[in-house]
Amino acid sequence: MKNYSTKSLLAVLMMLFISFAHAQEEDSESTSDDTEVKKKKFTWGGSADVYYRANIGAPNGGENGQTPNTSFANGNGFSIGMANLILSYEGKKVGAVADLVFGPRGVDAVFGSLQWDIDGDGTADLGNSSQVVNQLYVYWNVSDRVTLTFGNFNTFLGYEVISPTGNFNYSTSYMFSYGPFSHTGLKMDWAVSDDFSLLLAVMNDNDFTNFNPENTYTLGAQLAYKDIYLNFLYGYQFQVDLTTGFDITDSFYLGLNATYFEDRDSDASFYGVAIYPQLQISDPFALGFRAEYFAEGEGGVGAIGGYDANGDANAFEFTLTGNYAIGDLMIIPEFRIDTTSEDTFLNNDLESTGSLASFLVAAVYKF
């Protein structure tokens, strides 16, 4: 998507956003300035997480140390995750959010904000002052059912999120790790009815969070019915993603995520599916499982690391996780096995193998 046709489409979409928002505002109940001032409030929150991780039957640390090739939880021994600070100023109609991250998990989360060599002279032209910014956006509640968000926001695709407080498992899946983390642009959330909602977005290419160095754009959409979310991205990269979850009983929950991704320039692709059954065993303790199948084609995005003659490979990942709550502190023991179609790991004898087992225990505090 580029040149005249893309710019024309973006201009039309921007005009539609503004026209729709204006119409919604005229239909909504007006609010006096005094009420707006009284409604405003400043809030803050966040989290801190640390963990211990070790391989089972494979080297830990050193030049032969290895971890699953997914995001986060990639340290050996005692490691830190990130400190997360979320600041928000909220009014009845307008507000702003600044979400800041510090530490290794935070650095991995905002990789799109790294320094860029725009002119190709070997020197970074953009500093890294924004490397701690996970999200930074303003919003306008046009009506009770329509909200416009402008800025840098985390992706609406997928089952998992960046913050460990939003996930049952501490380590993350292949599908989440190689999909987008964040977008910068303009999005509209419209609650069409109590059960049905629509999201439309115009954004930079995936994870280009500071600005748009290539002057190319991505369109995003989400169709939601109750707890079923069908997500789309269309640009240089195309992705369709299904996310849902159901309470089977009062104590048993089942989540599902399926996705397909394609780079339209290289034809590299990946697809996968994962289930997330979770059982609340007692008030403080729950047990969950993630079973994921992930496959890459045409060399994919480098997630598996080894490929056959056609550039194809696949992986199965099984993660058993416990959540034990002590007030606002969550203790998370986890056992994980990754198996790949190609021999991409090493055992203790430094022989190539297609599997890696690992164990971790994390502590996540939410404030």
For residue range 12-26, list pLDDT tens digits in order: 566 656 566 555 555
Pair 203, 188: CB distance under 8 Å = no
Question: Which segment of 21-30, 194-203, 265-274, 320-329 scores lowest on mean pLDDT?
Answer: 21-30
- The residues with which 15 forms a beta bridge, in sequence order, are none
Pick the residue with more confidence: 54 or 16?
Answer: 54
Please give the Cα distance from 19 to 150 (Å, whole number). 16
Please give the Cα distance from 298 to 264 (Å, whole number). 12
Instruction: Give the single-character DSSP code of 125.
Output: S
Residue whose pair of structure tokens reads 């939880």 in the numeric block: 73
Q: Taking residues 118-125, report their average pLDDT.
A: 64
Tens digits of residue pLDDT in 308-340: 988 999 999 999 999 999 999 999 999 999 999
Question: Residue 161 pLDDT more than 80?
Answer: yes
Name all domains of the chain by residue range, CATH numbers in brackets.
Answer: 3-28+44-115+127-366 (2.40.160.10)
pTM exceeds 0.85: yes
Please give the Cα distance from 192 to 186 (Å, whole number). 19
Please give the Cα distance from 216 to 348 (Å, whole number). 46
- The residues with which 153 forms a beta bridge, in sequence order, are 183
Question: Residue 5 pLDDT more than 60?
Answer: no
Question: Residue 38 pLDDT more than 60?
Answer: no
Q: How far is residue 307 from each of residues 249, 296, 313, measured CA to CA in Å?
A: 42, 9, 5
Residue whose pair of structure tokens reads 């699953």 in the numeric block: 68
Instruction: Give the single-character DSSP code of 118.
Output: S
Question: Residue 32 pLDDT more than 50?
Answer: no
Q: In 227-328, which ranges are E strands?
A: 228-234, 237-247, 252-263, 269-280, 285-297, 313-326
pLDDT at 4: 40
- The residues with which 291 forms a beta bridge, in sequence order, are 275, 318
Nearest to 205 by CA among 21, 19, 10: 10
Let me know how long the chain is.
Answer: 367
